[in-house]
A and B are shown apart, each in its own frame.
Chain A
Amino acid sequence: MNKNQRVPSSRSLSAVEVKSKFGAEFRRFSLDRSKPGRFDEFYGLLQHVHRIPNVELLVGYADVHGDLLPINNDDNYLKAISTSSPLLRLFLQRKEEADYTFGTDSLTRKKNTVLSAVLLRPDSNRKKPPVIISLPKDFRPVSSIIDVDILPETHRRVRLYKHGQEKPLGFYIRDGSSVRVTPQGLEKVPGIFISRMVPGGLAESTGLLAVNDEVLEVNGIEVAGKSLDQVTDMMIANSHNLIITVKPANQRNNVVRSGGSGAASGSSGRSSDSGASYYGYSSQGGVGAVASMPSHIIQNFPAGELESDEDDEDLVIEGGGEAEPIRRAPSNYSMPSLPRYEPHLNLRTTTTTSTSAHSISTNGTMPASGSSGSLSYANATSSTPSPDRAMEQRSLEEDGTVITL
């Protein structure tokens, strides 16, 4: 594994050697480890050194375990710089003809590539089926279990991300009665229950909700005393970001809390999250990253702070102009426009619905390259549309008449 590794030069303490491969061509350059810059600058530099200014790239690197992992934002870029020593090996592909898949063992499986021999790791993990990490654009949170630390173990708070999702929410609720323990003894009280799941719907696909689960809260508001129609309207009004607290009919799959520490409960919450695919990313950060920010992983939702603003992206079409989502006017009222689940995921990918995804485009030049060429990330030609752009497009399609202006 080390045979191709150069002896670190004296420079390498402060600089990172980069070997970048695009197709059959290699480029070598170095970056300042202490000042790596931002991802978009780095991306521009790569386009520049390979002289492919207008080619959409997927950037991957080989980490210490020989896994091919993506670089597509500041976070994983910094991670790549900091963990690769002495050499950062990059693999560039055209976006449209990408044939590497990111994931563990992904490079080892590509036997016929030139690098396969180079990157072979000790075969200890051979027997395990490799974990496939899909492309960033495929990442979308679907559901999560939240607030495990503050809820009783018999309850489960499930968040369904309908936003930007083609799947129907897909469940029905009904009236029913449940038995409560009161000072007067057991008492039958009216309650709301899940009565049916639509096959293939979001609710069913998460596996977190089931028929006969009792609905206790909708987005932090208790449903006790509310009629079926009221609860229906509340759920529909929150449908883009629905948080339901249920008492599962099947109590055997409950999250069991070990110890009282935030980190522990955080990880247990994570373990039961069925939308686990995106946790593949956390492997690059290691356990330390998770442990360092347990407070982000566990989100508590006081009722007052439920002003989720994802629905704020009402579409405005100016006369003769093009559609744009409504940005919030600066006011004391405004909340950070970052989606709420972002800190929870500890990810900053372009898949998040943040409108800032568009603001990546810069005209910055890379300090290390010394090149005078100004590189720009053409926003319009981006083939990884951010969800809100996708939303726009879909709304336009749906409305049909809208575009005719």
Chain B
Amino acid sequence: MRRFRRHGHESQRDRLKQELFHFNKTVEHGFPHQPSALGYSPSLQLLAIGNRSGAIKLYGAPGVEFMGLHDENAAVTQVHFLPHQVELVTLLDDNSLHMWTLRAHKGLSELLEIGRFMLTGPPGAPPSVTRVTAVLAHSSGELLLLGTEGGHVFVVEVPGFRELEERNISLDQVSNRLVTSAQHTNLEHVEALQENPVNPNQVVIGYGRGLMIIWDLEKQRAIQHIPATQQLESVWWTEDGSYILSSHSDGSYCRWMVGAEDVNEEEEKSDIPYGHFPCKAISKIVQLPTEKGPPFLLFSGGMPRASYGDRHCITVIQNKTQVALDLTSRIIDFFVIRDGPKHTDPSALVVLVEEELVVIDLQTEGWPVIQTPYLVPLHSSAITCSHHISTIPIKLWERVIAAGELQNTHYSKKPWPITGGQNLAPDPPQRDLLLTGHEDGTVCFWDASGVCLYPMYKLSTAAVFHTDADPNDNMNQGTEGEWPPFRKVGCFDPYSDDPRLGIQKIHLCKYSGYLTVAGTAGQILVLELNDEAAEQTVEAKVVDLLQGQEGFRWKGHTRLDVREEPVLFPPGFQPFALVQCQPPAVVTALTLHSEWKLVAFGTSHGFGLYDYQQKNNVLIKCTLNPSDQLAMEGPLSRVKSIKKSLRQSFRRMRRSRVSLRKHHVNNAAKAELAEMELAPVQRKIEARSSDDSFTGLVRTLYFADTFLSDSSHNTPSLWAGTNGGCVFAFMLRLPPVEHRADEPVTAQPAKEIQLMHRAPVVGIVVLDGHGAPLPEPLEVAHDLARSPDLQGSHHLLVISEEQFKVFTLPKVSAKMKLKLTAVDGSRVRRVGVAWFGSSRSEDYGESGLVVLTNQGDLHVVSLPGVKMQVQYPCIRREDVSGIASCVFTKHGQGFYLISPSEFERFSLSTRHVVEPRCLVEVPLHSDNSTKHRPLHDGFSSAHGCVPSVCLSQCCRYLVVCRLSDCLCFLPEVLQEIQKSLEGDQTHVAGLKRTSFIGSFTEILFLT
């Protein structure tokens, strides 16, 4: 019956849903988790990072980003761009090679996997024969040389991965030529492959044992043997082709003359840079000439084993200057970007370490660090919470940027050196801020408007408190005459002085610039944006949330110790008020109303209301259940229990290993193991009762100007929801504005709702007479929101973990509800109010609730009708930290952590989508580069005349656009083509810059 009756309406609604909601994951912000390989294409100016879970990410100019994922879940061990091509090759842990390309499609480039390849050895050969250890992408762009564990070098034609067996360099061929037989017994694996920069027919093959052979690819024979005796780590062929540098496991490097004759020469120069005592290996060495002046020598590692063996260093030496850059984590790889008129001068050193990317400006005195516009380590201290604010007013935006710039004076002024690709994404329609709170008490402000999550400003709250760390003892570097000459670079610093400083909740009013942050030890700071530095004392107010409840003893940490003397705060957000909860439990809910100048905060014991104008407490309410002892234990004793359970599980693991080892002899152990495996995971089925633990924990706080007591007068009110399904409402009386500073603010209890299902209340929203959520404070005053409808009746929406329930106001009676848990077993973890604009008509939009469940599914629930609209799977349900970290924007987007260092951005809206849109074109070689490598630039004589090659490449990589556009712009386009065919590079660039990009093939066809 119902189905037939409402059919028409339903289909209309379905169409509307399609116009309003669309889910996709758009971009990953931050630093890739567990990077394992680095690659760089000087011609494309693109950086590639592979990680241990098989993802490959490409970065160019800010906004130019690509991401690919290997089907195999294996770590990426090497990434190599094919020189002067848009292809790149990745080598995975499982010995498979993959070919990727950037293919243009509808005006945008896409990263696509176009081939895969696994080296196959002769039948019966051990797997080590084909285990790839070194890859050389030959400058011809057509060959790939693969050195293997067995010592062979296989030659493969790319991009098709065709094995050229006749050109393989087998171990026999090499060792036959060896004069001394001592070495040829075991050359070990191929450690390094390098091409002669001036003669692409020559490659040097470095074997693990130390022997290096210069091989002529054309003549298929070895030209020269270089008999190094130390275990080889890396090989570098100098720019002029006359020397080979080799680095070794004992911390030494050697320089060898490249001669024409096959003679065993003595090394020309050998050095152990940090010598005398045993040193660690130099894992990579690079020497680069400069236009005028001495060359740069850069190498990683080589530190004295005993004293600095645990440091992660890259040493840069030029002339008399030597610096050992002391990085924050293990070095994955590094490369040097070169610019200058002939692209020879080293301009920037790019180092990928395990936790961040560091770029050093090599052309500015002192080699300062260049701030990265992307790949910023979000987790420089662990992220503890995040908060998103949409549509920041330009005034606040500029002030935050100004404050941030003052913090960044130590960075290089040089622009970001990696500039490949074009960012075609439209300018973001609004300015969005993402605030992340960190374990060390800092709050980072990120520009989240676009594809690049760019750091704007960093606020530290630690200065307000006495901490164990002495502010003077950090960075005691620079002591004179220290050797090696260390210099700390990078910002990754996971060590927190005091875990109590951790930020748990953040609330920023974008109109007034008031910020409140709350932390682990029950501290609530109220901060104000000030463009000048100020020295001030922060007055602390202790709030006893127990309110005389008897019989509780707090077993957790103590309150933070507040500095009583004035503290100098730099320009930016400066604290002026501090509330400290007693017991100092983690702050679990926080909200600020800048119009009323009130801050509400809650912990597991109760909640309070603080007037930050008069700096006093308005209200304290204890929500603690007298029988709830667990709430008083504090986080530390919880940690203890986790430790205990960890210990138990380790014990269990050990036991099971033992039993595994004795598998054959000990049947009892086997039985025990079997029992352990069979021991079922059980779940108790029990109705929630008021005796449960943490029922008093305050989950949400909300300010609303609504009809609390009667339907004719709206009053300010504070709402609080607890873990035990209880909602408290307080009526607030604010003095008139002129007496705001001296008359007290009062709060009196007005309502209390105990939800029968007792599920935790995770959200409270008041809907106005139109069913729209009430606007934020000051939003109406700034003309940015419609003032709420105060004529119609307001509704209260209480969101618990289990259901959505609408009540009437002021008389609280249930109007409608939507059950979630009872129907599909999922529970609400995160909820936010968002506005969804229709993709079809500009002026239609509706508000909705965005919900993330513990199953990792996203739902949109309509307002005010609380009807389920759409559902999308988003996060794996096992990814608890990902689900817990999710924040929603006001326009239907969201962020969640996919690793400690990366945010995934998703969008549920059809209208607000931030995703990378970029184009990378095939490099057209400039004169000097073609001169530099004359024979292998794709202009080879085999392809006939140069223009045709150029054209064919253009056809391959430029973008196809609609035929109609081609027609209307035809004359202009043809002109452009003509010019470009004449070899005028700038015109080609100009053509690309015009947003119209035509298909050359189509146009040629038309002509």
A-to-B contact residues, CB < 8 Å: 162, 168-176, 195-196, 203, 218-219, 221, 226-240, 306-307, 311-319, 326-329, 331, 333, 395, 398-402, 405
What's the dominant secondary structure at chain A's contact region? mixed
Q: Quick one: given A219-B822, A319-B749, A399-B690, are A240 and B685 in contact (CB under 8 Å)? A: no
Q: Are A232 and B822 in contact (CB under 8 A)?
A: no
User: Chain B residues with Cβ under 8 A from A171's Cβ?
Assistant: 685
Q: Are B680 and A169 in contact (CB under 8 A)?
A: no
User: Chain A residues with Cβ under 8 A from B751's Cβ?
Assistant: 316-319
Q: Are A314 and B683 in contact (CB under 8 A)?
A: no
Q: Are B813 and A398 in contact (CB under 8 A)?
A: no
Closest chain B residue, CB of each to CB of A242: B685
Stretch of B13-21, B164-172, B824-832 with 4 or more beta carbons under 8 angstroms from chain A:
B824-832
Q: CA A227 – CA B853 in complex, angstroms?
A: 14
Q: Are B683 and A229 in contact (CB under 8 A)?
A: yes
User: Chain B residues with Cβ under 8 A from A395's Cβ?
Assistant: 690, 754
Q: Are B754 and A314 in contact (CB under 8 A)?
A: yes
B622 within 8 A of A: yes
Q: Are A326 and B685 in contact (CB under 8 A)?
A: no
**Contact for B750 among A221, A234, A237, A319, CB less than 8 A:** A319
User: Chain B residues with Cβ under 8 A from A231's Cβ?
Assistant: 683, 825
B-to-A contact residues, CB < 8 Å: 622-623, 625-626, 680-691, 709, 726, 731, 748-757, 759, 802-803, 805, 807-808, 812-816, 819, 821-827, 854-855, 877
Closest chain A residue, CB of each to CB of B688: A236
**Contact for A329 among B686, B709, B753, B808, CB less than 8 A:** B808
Q: Are B749 and A174 in contact (CB under 8 A)?
A: no
**Leading 5 A-B pairs by shortest Cβ distance:** A230-B825, A239-B687, A237-B821, A174-B680, A398-B690
Q: Are A313 and B824 in contact (CB under 8 A)?
A: no
Interface centre among B623, B684, B855, by most A CB within 10 Å?
Answer: B684
Q: Are A402 and B686 in contact (CB under 8 A)?
A: no
User: Chain A residues with Cβ under 8 A from B757's Cβ?
Assistant: 237, 240, 311
Question: What are 20 A-B contacts defined by CB distance under 8 Å?
Answer: A173-B683, A173-B685, A195-B682, A221-B823, A221-B824, A226-B824, A227-B825, A229-B825, A230-B855, A234-B822, A311-B757, A312-B756, A312-B814, A315-B753, A315-B756, A319-B748, A331-B816, A395-B690, A395-B754, A405-B752
Interface centre among A231, A307, A318, by most B CB within 10 Å?
Answer: A318
**Contact for A175 among B680, B687, B709, CB less than 8 A:** B680
Shortest B689–chain A CB gap in Å is 7
Q: Are B821 and A233 in contact (CB under 8 A)?
A: yes
Shortest A400–chain B CB gap in Å is 6
Closest chain B residue, CB of each to CB of A319: B750
Q: Are B684 and A172 in contact (CB under 8 A)?
A: yes
Q: CA A331 – CA B865 in complex, angstroms?
A: 12
Q: Quick one: given A233-B826, A240-B757, A329-B813, are A402 and B752 in contact (CB under 8 Å)? A: yes
Q: Quick one: given A195-B680, A230-B825, A231-B825, are A313 and B687 in contact (CB under 8 Å)? A: no
User: Chain B residues with Cβ under 8 A from A315's Cβ?
Assistant: 752-754, 756
**Contact for B686 among A237, A238, A239, CB less than 8 A:** A239
Q: CA A78 – CA B687 in complex, angstroms?
A: 39
Q: CA A218 – CA B823 in complex, angstroms?
A: 9
Q: Are B813 and A172 in contact (CB under 8 A)?
A: no
Q: Are A398 and B814 in contact (CB under 8 A)?
A: no
Shortest B215–chain A CB gap in Å is 59
Q: Are A240 and B821 in contact (CB under 8 A)?
A: no
User: Chain A residues with Cβ under 8 A from B684's Cβ?
Assistant: 172, 232
Q: Are B821 and A234 in contact (CB under 8 A)?
A: yes
Q: CA A162 – CA B757 in complex, angstroms?
A: 12
User: Chain B residues with Cβ under 8 A from A174's Cβ?
Assistant: 680-683
Shortest B808–chain A CB gap in Å is 5
**Contact for A311 among B623, B731, B756, B877, CB less than 8 A:** B756
Number of A-B contacts (CB under 8 A): 152
Taking A218-B825, A237-B819, A315-B753 as given, write out 9 further A-B residue pairs in contact, using a Cβ cutoff of 8 Å, ordered by the A residue number. Answer: A231-B683, A233-B827, A234-B825, A239-B688, A316-B753, A319-B731, A319-B750, A329-B813, A395-B690
Closest chain A residue, CB of each to CB of B816: A333
Q: CA A195 – CA B685 in complex, angstroms?
A: 11
Q: Are A314 and B824 in contact (CB under 8 A)?
A: no
Shortest B250–chain A CB gap in Å is 55
Q: CA A168 – CA B759 in complex, angstroms?
A: 17
Q: CA A322 – CA B599 in complex, angstroms?
A: 30
User: Chain A residues with Cβ under 8 A from B816's Cβ?
Assistant: 331, 333
User: Chain B residues with Cβ under 8 A from A239's Cβ?
Assistant: 685-688
Q: CA A329 – CA B819 in complex, angstroms?
A: 18
Q: Are B626 and A314 in contact (CB under 8 A)?
A: no
Q: Are A313 and B756 in contact (CB under 8 A)?
A: yes
Q: Quick one: given A312-B756, A326-B813, are A172 and B682 in contact (CB under 8 Å)? A: yes
Shortest B122–chain A CB gap in Å is 43
Shortest A170–chain B CB gap in Å is 7
Shortest B328–chain A CB gap in Å is 38
User: Chain B residues with Cβ under 8 A from A313's Cβ?
Assistant: 756
User: Chain B residues with Cβ under 8 A from A319's Cβ?
Assistant: 709, 731, 748-751
Shortest A69–chain B CB gap in Å is 35
Q: Are A317 and B690 in contact (CB under 8 A)?
A: no
User: Chain B residues with Cβ under 8 A from A168's Cβ?
Assistant: 686-687
Q: Are B752 and A327 in contact (CB under 8 A)?
A: no
User: Chain A residues with Cβ under 8 A from B690's Cβ?
Assistant: 395, 398-399
Q: CA A400 – CA B825 in complex, angstroms?
A: 31
Q: CA A307 – CA B819 in complex, angstroms?
A: 9
Closest chain A residue, CB of each to CB of B685: A235
Q: Are A314 and B691 in contact (CB under 8 A)?
A: no
Q: Are B682 and A173 in contact (CB under 8 A)?
A: yes
User: Chain B residues with Cβ under 8 A from A329's Cβ?
Assistant: 808, 813-815
Q: CA A158 – CA B223 in complex, angstroms?
A: 87
User: Chain A residues with Cβ under 8 A from B731's Cβ?
Assistant: 319
User: Chain B residues with Cβ under 8 A from A170's Cβ?
Assistant: 685-686
Q: Are B815 and A331 in contact (CB under 8 A)?
A: yes
Q: Are B622 and A398 in contact (CB under 8 A)?
A: no
User: Chain B residues with Cβ under 8 A from A175's Cβ?
Assistant: 680-681
Closest chain A residue, CB of each to CB of B795: A329
Q: CA A172 – CA B812 in complex, angstroms?
A: 36
Shortest B725–chain A CB gap in Å is 8
User: Chain A residues with Cβ under 8 A from B802's Cβ?
Assistant: 233, 237
Q: CA A405 – CA B752 in complex, angstroms?
A: 9
Q: Are A314 and B815 in contact (CB under 8 A)?
A: no
Q: Are A233 and B825 in contact (CB under 8 A)?
A: yes
Q: Are A318 and B753 in contact (CB under 8 A)?
A: no
User: Chain A residues with Cβ under 8 A from B623's Cβ?
Assistant: 401
Q: CA A395 – CA B687 in complex, angstroms?
A: 14
Q: Are A314 and B685 in contact (CB under 8 A)?
A: no
**Contact for B749 among A172, A203, A405, CB less than 8 A:** A405
Shortest B269–chain A CB gap in Å is 65
Q: Are A172 and B823 in contact (CB under 8 A)?
A: no
Shortest A348–chain B CB gap in Å is 24
Closest chain A residue, CB of each to CB of B623: A401
User: Chain B residues with Cβ under 8 A from A162's Cβ?
Assistant: 687
Closest chain B residue, CB of each to CB of A223: B825
Q: CA A172 – CA B685 in complex, angstroms?
A: 6
User: Chain A residues with Cβ under 8 A from B814's Cβ?
Assistant: 312, 314, 326-329
Q: CA A234 – CA B826 in complex, angstroms?
A: 8
Q: CA A162 – CA B686 in complex, angstroms?
A: 10
Q: Are A316 and B752 in contact (CB under 8 A)?
A: yes
**Contact for A327 among B755, B756, B813, B819, CB less than 8 A:** B813
**Contact for A400 among B626, B749, B808, CB less than 8 A:** B626
Q: Quick one: given A175-B680, A311-B756, A319-B750, are A169 and B689 in contact (CB under 8 Å)? A: no
Interface centre among B750, B803, B822, B854, by most A CB within 10 Å?
Answer: B822
Shortest A398–chain B CB gap in Å is 4
Q: CA A399 – CA B754 in complex, angstroms?
A: 9
Q: CA A339 – CA B623 in complex, angstroms?
A: 32
Shortest B683–chain A CB gap in Å is 4
Closest chain A residue, CB of each to CB of B730: A319
Q: CA A169 – CA B686 in complex, angstroms?
A: 6
Q: CA A230 – CA B686 in complex, angstroms?
A: 14
Shortest B852–chain A CB gap in Å is 15
